[in-house]
């Protein structure tokens, strides 16, 4: 009897080791800023979204942010970027100079970077539903291009932590750099496409008061 138990335990241990060692490209997906995204459901949605994106990219790479010589089979996923929101009351009561971080709330959405050979190419967007399941779709190419520019201008290694913000009743994405005063909130549509043109941050009070 003890031999059967030992054999069963050994099989289970081997299976567990195999599963945990074959989650290709998801090492960084397991280290998000929100504990909810560590779930198996989140990882499954992210991988499903990656498969769908790569299938589309095989037919038209440039439309989805990939280069002609990218090895799509080497694509993997980066660390999920939480998307925040601000409710209308907090936006309306915002006082100039108030720390923007104090208003940010989880939105139940994330952007997951897609990389090829370590270089960022595109986003997969993940939604959390009311039933605690996750849905993935191909992210905005515009958002991916703008985020690349934001990170280059305000890199985390220099202690900047850009944050993406949305409002359900306002189209598009906004971002804030909490470490920069005056406190700011900028529509990504205002980011110039030209690499050399400077980005001018909008005062947070302007955007937030428009959300009242």
Return the CATH number at 38: 3.10.500
Element (H, E) at 199: none
Enter the pTM of the model. 0.78
Q: Does residue 146 sit within a domain? A: yes
- The answer to whether residue 7 sits within a structural domain is no
Give the strand pairing for 119-128 and 81-85: unpaired
Number of domains in the chain: 1
The answer to whether residue 8 sits within a structural domain is: no
User: For residue range 121-167, what is the model confidence (pLDDT) as tens digits?
Assistant: 999 999 999 988 999 999 999 899 899 999 999 999 999 999 999 99
In a domain, 154, yes or no: yes
Q: State the DSSP code for 86.
A: -
Q: Distance from CA of residue 50 to its chain's centroid?
A: 13
First-last CA distance in the chain: 69
Q: Mind listing the pLDDT tens digit for each residue in 66-110? A: 999 999 999 999 999 999 999 999 999 999 889 999 999 999 999
Kindly provide the residue ranges of all beta strands, DSSP E only, lying in 53-203, ordered along the sequence.
75-77, 81-85, 105-116, 119-128, 134-138, 163-167, 170-176, 186-187
Residue 191 in domain: yes
Mean pLDDT of 32-46: 72
Which ranges of 40-189 would DSSP assign to H, the alpha helix? 40-59, 88-92, 141-153
Q: Could you tell me the two tokens for 121?
A: 């190419």
Residue 22 lies in a domain: no
Q: Does 16 reside within a domain?
A: no
Which tokens belong to 187? Answer: 């529509």
Q: Which domain holds residue 168?
A: 27-210
The answer to whether residue 34 is domain-embedded is: yes
């Amino acid at each position: 009897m003890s031999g059967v138990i030992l054999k069963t335990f050994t099989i289970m241990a081997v299976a567990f080791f195999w599963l945990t060692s074959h989650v290709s490209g998801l090492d960084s997906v397991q280290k998000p800023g929100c504990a909810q995204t560590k779930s198996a459901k989140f990882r499954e949605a992210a991988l499903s979204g990656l498969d769908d994106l790569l299938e589309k990219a095989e037919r038209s790479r440039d439309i989805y942010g990939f280069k002609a010589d990218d090895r799509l089979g080497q694509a993997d996923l980066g660390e999920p970027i939480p998307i925040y929101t601000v409710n209308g009351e907090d936006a309306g009561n915002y006082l100039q100079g108030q720390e923007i971080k104090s208003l940010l709330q989880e939105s139940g959405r994330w952007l997951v970077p897609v990389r090829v050979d370590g270089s960022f190419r595109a986003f997969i967007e993940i939604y959390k539903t009311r039933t605690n399941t996750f849905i993935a779709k191909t992210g905005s190419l515009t958002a991916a291009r703008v985020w690349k520019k934001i990170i280059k201008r305000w890199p985390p290694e220099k202690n900047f932590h850009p944050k993406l913000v949305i409002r359900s009743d306002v189209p598009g994405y906004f971002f804030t750099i909490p470490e920069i005063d005056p406190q700011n909130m900028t529509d990504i549509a205002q980011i110039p496409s030209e690499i050399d043109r400077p980005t001018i941050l909008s005062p947070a009070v302007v955007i937030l008061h428009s959300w009242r």
